[in-house]
Amino acid sequence: MPRATTNSDAFNAVAEPRRREILTLLTLREHPVGDIVIALRLAQPSVSKHLRVLRDVGLVRAHRKGRRVLYRTNAAAIRPLYEWTKTFERFWEHQLLRIKERAEATAQKSHPAVPNHKEET
């Protein structure tokens, strides 16, 4: 079995760094394809293909305006990724807390506020 297709869900779509850059660019305001070509220095067909993937999974919305097609990020589609990663938040915080505790314990040994006679350096 090959990898899931890039347009199967948001997780697969954002795995590609260029697509993440495109999403960032299209967040503040909508842009035509040509803007992305210039900003990311990619070939126009490449940009259109990336946009196609992002569109398929709902990460961007598009509408024509004359000859141009304006794209904008649909932030709501990123939310599931956020929610999933947030599941782990308390665990990395717990890790950081332990690291901090160990650092303080080490500092305690080197410069004890109260002399430490039980440990030998």
CA pair distance 66, 70, nearest whole angstrom: 10
Residue 115's binding partner among DNA, a second copy, none (Cβ under 5 to 8 angstroms by kind) is none
Exactly one of 67, 89, 120, 121 binds a second copy (CB under 8 A); that residue is 89
Which residues are paired to 61 by β-bridges? 72
* Beta carbons within 8 Å of 13's beta carbon, 6+ residues apart: 6, 7, 19, 53, 54, 56, 57, 59
> Dihedral angle at the C-alpha atoms of 101, 102, 103, 105, nearest 10 degrees?
90
Asked if 86 interacts with a second copy (CB under 8 A), we say yes
Phi, then psi, of 111 in degrees rounded to 5: -130, 70
Q: Is 88 in the site for a second copy (CB under 8 A)?
A: yes
- Does the footprint of a second copy cover residue 105 (CB under 8 A)? no
Binding interface with DNA (CB under 7 A):
1-3, 5-7, 16, 18, 32-34, 37, 42-53, 62, 64, 66-69
Binding interface with a second copy (CB under 8 A):
3-4, 6, 11-12, 14-17, 20, 23-24, 27, 73-76, 78-79, 81-82, 84-89, 91-92, 94-96
